Amino acid sequence: MQRALRWIGIVIAVGVLLLAGLAITYDRRYTERIFPGVTVNGLDVGGMTASEAEAALQRALPDPQVEGITLWANEQAWRFSWAALGQRYDVPATVAAAYQVAREATWPARLAAARADSPEEIAAMYQAQRQLRLPGALLVLNPIPAEFELDGGDVERWTALANADLEAAGVSGKGVTPFLLARMAHHSQGATVRSNQALLESNVRLACRIAAALEKQE
């Protein structure tokens, strides 16, 4: 049982590392592009560079020299263009605002925006997702129990030692991750394993409580 828990803990650690890696990769991929899903006046500018978005907006936005308003009085009409009334598009500023969408905070802060403090709230989110027929899964991030949290400085030190061991051993390919995790467990005197085991047990308890909450709501 102890061995099984150890390997499950390693899998969870790898999953967390992969999640962090995906977040970093996603940000890097769109370093000079607007994030997908961003629209301006109904125009999808997601994935575009600033110059591409500006050109697309210039083509799509109504021409203020042409569009306008007509005033009628005593059967007489007066036509005023939006430009004549002082309307102007600040396309660069609009594109800059579109680029900043979802960049104001770190990934943990972005994820915290959808925080749920109870299994019942998570179950309600899941039910809402199903009712809206939204694609994809609902990712639940459960913090590690406070008594098993690891000091960031210690983790950095253990990681550096493990990387030094990796270089000395010449391990590569698929063997890198298991080797590093094993060496971190060695240098931390088992603290990383105990931490992962605590996280696993906490995740199982939370999953059971979410399942019970879903059963009550259905």
**Lowest mean pLDDT: which of 27-31, 40-44, 55-59?**
27-31
For the chain, give the mean pLDDT: 78
Is 130 in the same domain as 207? yes
User: Tokens 């027929």 belong to which residue?
Assistant: 133
pLDDT classification of 8: cutoffs 50, 70, 90: very low
User: Tens digit of pLDDT for each residue in 46-59?
Assistant: 888 989 988 988 88
Q: Is residue 120 part of a domain?
A: yes
Domain range spanning residue 88? 51-97
If asked whether residues 93 and 115 sit together in one domain, one would say: no
Q: What is d(CA 149, CA 158) in angstroms, rounded to the nearest whole number?
A: 15
- pLDDT for 161-199, tens place per residue? 999 999 999 988 888 888 998 999 999 999 999 998 998
Indicate if 85 and 132 belong to the same structural domain: no
Phi, psi (5° rounding) for residue 48?
Answer: -90, 150
**In a shared domain, residues 64 and 83:** yes
- Model confidence at 39: pLDDT above 80: yes
Assess whether 56 and 146 both reside in one domain.
no
Into how many domains does the chain fold? 2
pLDDT in the model for residue 84? 73
The pair of three-digit structure tokens given for residue 61, joined into one six-digit string: 């936005």
Residue 96 token pair: 């800059």
| pLDDT for residue 5 is more than 50 | no
Structure-model confidence comparison of residues 62 and 171, the more confident one? 171
Are 24 and 62 found together in one domain? no
Question: Same structural domain for residues 11 and 28?
Answer: yes
Query: Could you report the per-residue pLDDT of 106-134, keeping only the tens digit for each?
Result: 655 555 556 778 889 888 888 877 776 76
Which one is predicted more confidently, 1 or 41?
A: 41
pTM for this predicted structure:
0.48
Do residues 29 and 45 lie in contact, with contact meaning Cβ atoms separated by under 8 Å?
A: no
Query: Which pLDDT band, with edges at 50, 70 and 90, does 105 fall under?
Result: low
Q: Identify the pLDDT of residue 104.
A: 65
CA distances from 16 to 21, 54, 100, 171 (A): 9, 38, 26, 22
Whether 6 is in a domain gets the answer yes
